[in-house]
Amino acid sequence: MIQFSQFNGSDKMVKIVDNLKDANAVTHSGTFHADDIFSTVLLEYIFDDLYIFRTYEITAKNDSRIYYDIGGGKFDHHHNHNNKMRNEFIPYASFGLLWEEYAKTFLEKIGCNNIEYVSKYVIDNLITCIDAVDNGVFYNCDMYNILDVSKIISLFNPRYDEEIDSDTKFIEACNFAKIIFDNIVNNGISMAKSKSIVENKIRTVKNHMIILDEYVPFKEHILNSKLPEANNIYFVIYKSSRKGYMIATLPKNIDDNELRMKFPEKWAGLREKNFSDVCNIDNVIFCHKNLFVAAAHTLDSAIKIVEETIRINNKL
């Protein structure tokens, strides 16, 4: 599923073998978790054909096999001498340890041009949560019965009243995890490309707005930008995938929902003619009732919505 022509995930294979001598990777048997499943997906992409020996107990040997989530070696986070921490709260699990070792190899293999950015994106959006849950750190999701990726993977384990081989379910879980992993990586690659586009647009800010030629993710890039002009952007205009142009507001910072500037209160929830009559601008579509996004049929009207919003706010 990875988008690069030099990388075709369908060519890869994971097979579980019965003997250690036939394996190039070793992990634990029995109940599996997101940590060992996603570790397997990564190793499959690194080694192309992955032959796994799953066992209850083993000591990592000085051979060419990868021992992960078992064995007490470099990629087993359960033993006392492997206490690497991602930050002061989250220890590494096997997936995090393997990513640290092989991320560059993997990303180079698929032709990724911005390895540092994409590697961090995968860490922030997938690996950190899996590492945390596997180490017993995050349980707040239980309060709301949220199915995070770790819980979803756990559903693939054989039920107590189900007569099915655990290895069969392990492979099923890997195939499902591969879809998630591929999409996370592709999103990271896409975000890296959009960062360059947005950084160039930030330098064009005028009257507290920038105009994108097409929609690309912008919020994270603007709010995390080191460019001084980024702090001066209140609105982003971009062509809608449905019709017309969207006008999005920006929060004050990445961790805050308070907007830098809202649309006028009297516009809240208005559409088409009602909106036009109140704002005195032609070709408008709507203003969201929570005042964080609006739309217009034409770029000229979208710009006028921003200009009128700034004028009204400056009078308050």
Q: Kind and range of the H or E element at 142? A: helix 141-144
Q: How many CA atoms lie within 13 A of 40 on its CB side?
A: 32
Q: Exposed, middle or buried: residue 277 (CB in 10 Å: 0-12, 13-18, 19+)?
A: exposed
pLDDT tens digits along 172-195: 999 999 999 999 999 999 999 999
How far are the Cα atoms of 29, 112, 156, 182, 281 from residue 168, in angstroms, in the given order?
12, 32, 10, 21, 62
pLDDT tens digits along 17-51: 999 999 999 999 999 999 999 999 999 999 988 99
Q: Residue 4 — very low, low, confident or very high, per pLDDT cuts 50/70/90?
A: very low
Q: Which residues of 108-137 are buried (b: 16+ CB within 10 A; e: fewer)?
A: ebbebebeebbbebbbeebbbbbbbbbbeb
The domain locations on the chain are 9-193, 203-315
User: What is the distance between the alpha carbons of residues 147 and 151, in angstroms, rounded to a whole number?
Assistant: 6
pLDDT at 254: 85
Q: Flag whether pLDDT at 302 surpasses 90.
A: yes
Q: The whole model's pTM is what?
A: 0.85
User: What is the distance between the alpha carbons of residues 103 and 115, in angstroms, rounded to a whole number?
Assistant: 8
User: What is the distance between the alpha carbons of residues 237 and 210, in angstroms, rounded to a whole number?
Assistant: 6
Structure token pair of residue 165: 């081989």
User: What is the distance between the alpha carbons of residues 238 and 294, in angstroms, rounded to a whole number?
Assistant: 11
Given a contact cutoff of 8 angstroms between Cβ atoms, the answer to whether 53 and 17 are in contact is yes
Helices H, strands E: what count in the chain? 10, 9
Q: Flag whether pLDDT at 299 surpasses 80.
A: yes
User: What is the distance between the alpha carbons of residues 92 and 84, in angstroms, rounded to a whole number?
Assistant: 6
User: What is the distance between the alpha carbons of residues 298 and 143, in angstroms, rounded to a whole number?
Assistant: 45
Average pLDDT over residues 256-273: 95
Helix 115-122 and helix 94-109, axial crossing angle in degrees, nearest 10: 150
- Assign 3-state DSSP to the chain and report helix, strand, coil percentages, each to 5: 45, 15, 40
How far are the Cα atoms of 36, 56, 111, 116 from residue 121, in angstroms, in the given order?
20, 33, 16, 9
pLDDT tens digits along 83-93: 788 877 889 99
Comparing C-alpha atoms, which of 228, 234, 201, 229 is closest to residue 217? 201
Coil, strand or helix at 20: helix
